[in-house]
Structures are given as C-alpha cells and as structure tokens.
Amino acid sequence: METSIVWTEYMKYRLSLRGYDPAVIEEILRYSSERYADTQTERMIAVGQHDNLLVMVPYEIRGNEIIPVTVHATDKKQITARLRSGRFRNV
C-alpha cells in the first residue's frame, strides 16, 4: 500500500502563509535523504531545498500516512547545532 500525505488544515495554512509549494514539500517528505529524529518532540524531520531556501519539515508517521506538522526555513548551522546538542539524531 502506498504511503499517503495527510495535509492538516494547520499545515495548509502554514504553506499558504509562508508561500511554500505543497508539491515541493511532498517531494521532500517522500524522497529527502536528509532525515533526523527530534528527541524533544519525538517527530521525524525531513530536510530539503525549496527554491533558494533550505527547509525542515517535522512530520509524524501513522500507519501508511505521513502527517507533516509545519515547515520552516533553516540552515546547516542550525541543524549542526541541534545534532551536537542531542536535540536531533541521525536516522
């Protein structure tokens, strides 16, 4: 069974507010090779490129559904800091 993306109303609002293309975010969620586990929220994080921005997308997995929580711009420095502090771990 194929994994489906479940877009919550909040996530749709955040995408619209920040001008992100849902198709690009879906590509990141499905195919990004850069993924982390957030040890504070217990969510997974997918990282990828959206136009000229590096974005991180926290998400949850329930059965065969991927449920993105939010999306925001980041940079390698922030990701490295979270890895060093133990907030993120490689998966």
| Residue-by-residue DSSP string for 59-79 | EEEETTEEEE---EEE-HHHH
Q: What is the pLDDT of residue 31?
A: 97
Residue 50 contacts residue 18 (beta carbons within 8 Å): no
* pLDDT of 2 higher than 90: no
Q: Read off the pLDDT of residues 11-39 as tens digits, 9 standing for 90 and up.
A: 999 999 999 999 999 999 999 999 999 99
CATH number of the structural domain spanning residue 36: 3.30.2310
Of 15, 54, 16, 53, give the one whose Cα is nearest residue 34: 54
* pLDDT of 1 higher than 80: no
3-class secondary-structure state, position 2: coil
- Measured over the CA atoms of residue 8, residue 54, residue 46 and residue 81, the dihedral's sign is negative
Query: In which band, very low, low, confident or very high, does the pLDDT at 72 lie, cut at 50, 70 and 90?
Result: very high
Average pLDDT score, the chain: 97
Domain count, the chain: 1
Give me the half-sphere count of Cα atoms (radius 13 Å) on the Cβ side of residue 38: 15
The fraction of the chain above a pLDDT of 70, given in percent, is 99
Its domain, for residue 34, covers 4-90
